[in-house]
Amino acid sequence: MKILDLTLTISDKIPTFPGSPKPNFIPWERIKDNGYNLELLFLSSHTGTHLDAPYHFLENGAKIHEISPTRLICEAVLIKTKKKLKNNLFMLIIQEMVMYTLQIQCIMRIS
C-alpha cells in the first residue's frame, strides 16, 4: 500500500472554511528579550487538513483527542480533479461516493 500524506502546511495563506478565521501567528517571546522566540498559533479546528470528530455534530460524540490515529490509516481512493467545483456540486459528488461506499460495504458483509 502506498502512503499518501494529505496534510497541508499551516500558513496565513491556507484556504479556510467560510466563516472560519484565518490562522494568526502571534509573537509571544523574542530572542532579544527572553533568549528564545515563541509564537502563539490561533486557528479554527477546521483549518487545513483536519478530521471532524463525531462531537462536531453529536452532543455526546467522541472528541478529536479520543479518536485513535490508527483509524486514519486505511485503503482509500484518490480522486483528482482539474476543474474547480462549486461547493454544492462538490457535496453532491461526496454524497454519491459515500452512498457507493456504503453499498459496497453491505455487499461485502452479505458475501
Q: Of 29, 26, 46, 49, which is closest to residue 37 (Cα–Cα)?
A: 29
Residue whose grid cell is 494529505: 6
Q: What is this structure's pTM?
A: 0.52
- Ordered by start, the domain boundaries in the chain are 1-74, 77-111
User: What pLDDT digit, counting tens, does each position of 16-31 carry?
Assistant: 888 889 999 999 999 9
User: What pLDDT digit, counting tens, does each position of 84-107 carry?
Assistant: 666 556 666 777 777 777 666 555
